[in-house]
Structure 1
Amino acid sequence: MNLPKKAEDVHAVLADAFNTGDVKAVMNLYDVTGIIVPEPGKPVSGKTQFEEAITGILSIKGRMEIKTVYCFQTGNIALGRSEWSITDKGETKISAKGIEVMKQQVDGTWKIIVDHAFGAENNLVA
């Protein structure tokens, strides 16, 4: 799976990677020195923790859809806000509003460095 060439394409590429069911395809979109928050209040970092988080998300069987609410870019950093869901046979298994920080790589592609899957939820308390 190719990495996105534009920051605003990261969400769509992430959903496509998730829908392959392949941990490596999803992992490829992340800088594992960053942070992923797969559950509210539980940020993790590092390759092993990223793999565990992504494996957990992939265990929710279904199709992921991610809507980009906005994507602001300045230089090689971008901030995205998403609304995402995983559905299976018409049933929504999980849905949330996320915030993502992306960084452009030396080759011009983009990776996620912070993924707060529930970061834009109304009831989220820091």
Structure 2
Amino acid sequence: MRDVNHGLGYTLWQLQHRIQRMLEREMGALRVTLAQASALARLEEEPGTSSAELARHLLLSPQAVSLIIGRLEAAGHLVRAAPAGGRSRPLALTESGRRILGDAERAIQRVRAAVFGGLDAGEREVLQDLLDRSLAAAKDHG
């Protein structure tokens, strides 16, 4: 029997795909993408982050992040500060960006509850540990 449509890897892929669709639906209701919400979260964690730093953190190309920043800026969710000596223009959340980020975080919690609500805290902790270890092993192999 072939392992293409069966087994742990396929189950993880299916779960990731369903979570992605659920998150996209939730973010769509907020009129942001998941990548945009992730950018807002990073900017809240690290105010003054440059677009290059944001691209590295989000694992996206500088061009993709430039589009994300442009859309968030046009929507009034972030501003670019004047450069401080270099060419880099630090990014900062606006009040609107903070509001959208709060809404996005609540949406993510709803998805998390829908997907993992059937597991108790101990089971979630074990699952997280197993997935973290598997991710670390996969990183070791490229």
TM-score by length of 1: 0.28
Larger radius of gyration: 2
Between Structure 1 and Structure 2, the one with more strand by share is: 1
